[in-house]
């Protein structure tokens, strides 16, 4: 059974919830930058991490799973949130340039089906960020936060799930190094800076960025994976290998959308 939308809203109004909102929002902003003229989807309960992002998207929609419930969002503008079946989203194929997924896979009855549906509505040149609870992190063992509910993931488990959903993981990072206690909220920035160096395996969240597996046609009927660009602040995932820590590299971004 999923957590209710009221419980999630209440958590993000607490000092600990505001820390989680700030840390994850920062990672999303570093990865995606300006969202102007893009079509953006918040899947699960990802709206706290999209508030305050740079640029005004062309289309911005929040799809919240039926078992969770839905709330009006944003409060200061016309509603953009809808209740949806996570395995049958009410959107056409290849609609969204950016999709942020949070509080979805951990409590899904079929995380693969949910992720395949995310892949369906993702544009060929689009990008998705999956924010999931880390299996080895302290947040997964505390029940005072929504990340302590449902099924946590290791990095390799998440990478395998992404691949099974016909997507390719291209980069990953971590967030929420502070222990999930209210008194740590005032020291969250210090924990975030030192935790990445001293105890990276104990982060509360794994954030993995992925793209659709698209192929360019070659004369001999051979397919070649589209080249992708690793984004600043995220560790690139080498093709055919598990991601490892190291400096981000870059390659030319995919050009345009395939028909």
Domain ranges of the chain: 5-236
Tell me, rounded to whole angstroms, the distance of Cα 116 from its chain centroid: 14
Mean pLDDT, residues 241-253 taken together: 43
DSSP conformation letters of 164-193: HTTEEEEEEEEE--S-SSGGGGGGHHHHHH
Mean of per-residue pLDDT scores for the chain: 86
Please state which CATH class domain 5-236 belongs to.
alpha beta
pLDDT of residue 233: 53
Model-level pTM?
0.82
Q: In which band, very low, low, confident or very high, does the pLDDT at 234 lie, cut at 50, 70 and 90?
A: low
- Closest to 134 in 3D by CA, of 156, 165, 112: 156
Count, residues in the chain: 259
Residue 219 confidence (pLDDT) above 50: no
Per residue in 58-74, is it b (16+ CB within 10 Å) or e — as a string? eebbbbbbeebbbbebe
pLDDT of residue 238: 58
CB 129 within 8 A of CB 206: no
Residue 185's alpha-carbon distances to 16, 30, 72, 86, 116, in angstroms, are 6, 22, 27, 32, 36
**C-alpha span between 139 and 142 (Å, rounded):** 5
pLDDT of residue 76: 87
pLDDT of residue 226: 40
Percent of the chain with pLDDT over 90: 70
CB 150 within 8 A of CB 106: yes
pLDDT of residue 51: 86
Q: In which band, very low, low, confident or very high, does the pLDDT at 216 lie, cut at 50, 70 and 90?
A: very low
pLDDT tens column, 153-187? 999 999 999 999 999 999 999 999 998 998 888 88
Residue 217 confidence (pLDDT) above 90: no
């Amino acid at each position: 059974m999923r957590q209710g939308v009221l419980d999630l809203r209440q958590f993000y109004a607490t000092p600990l919830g505001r820390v989680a909102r700030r840390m994850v929002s920062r990672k999303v902003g570093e990865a995606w930058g300006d969202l102007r003229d893009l079509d953006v989807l918040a899947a699960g309960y990802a709206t706290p991490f999209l508030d305050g992002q740079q640029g005004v998207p062309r289309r911005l929609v929040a799809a919240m799973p039926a078992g969770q419930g839905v709330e009006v969002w944003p409060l200061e503008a016309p509603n953009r949130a809808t209740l949806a079946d996570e395995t049958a989203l009410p959107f056409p194929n290849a609609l969204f340039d950016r999709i942020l997924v949070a509080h979805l896979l951990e409590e899904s009855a079929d995380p693969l089906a949910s992720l395949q549906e995310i892949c369906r509505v993702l544009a060929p040149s689009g990008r998705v960020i999956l924010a999931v609870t880390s299996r080895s992190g302290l947040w997964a063992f505390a029940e005072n936060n929504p990340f302590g509910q449902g099924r946590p993931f290791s990095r390799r488990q998440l990478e395998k799930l992404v691949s099974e959903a016909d997507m390719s993981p291209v980069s990953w990072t971590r967030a929420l190094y502070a222990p999930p206690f209210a008194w740590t909220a005032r020291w969250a920035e210090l924990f975030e800076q030192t935790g990445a160096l001293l105890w990276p395996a104990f982060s509360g969240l794994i954030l993995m960025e992925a793209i659709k597996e698209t192929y360019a046609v070659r004369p001999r009927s051979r397919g070649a994976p589209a080249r992708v660009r690793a984004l600043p602040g995220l560790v690139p995932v080498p093709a055919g290998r598990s991601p490892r820590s190291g400096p981000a590299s870059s390659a030319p971004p995919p050009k345009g959308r395939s028909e």
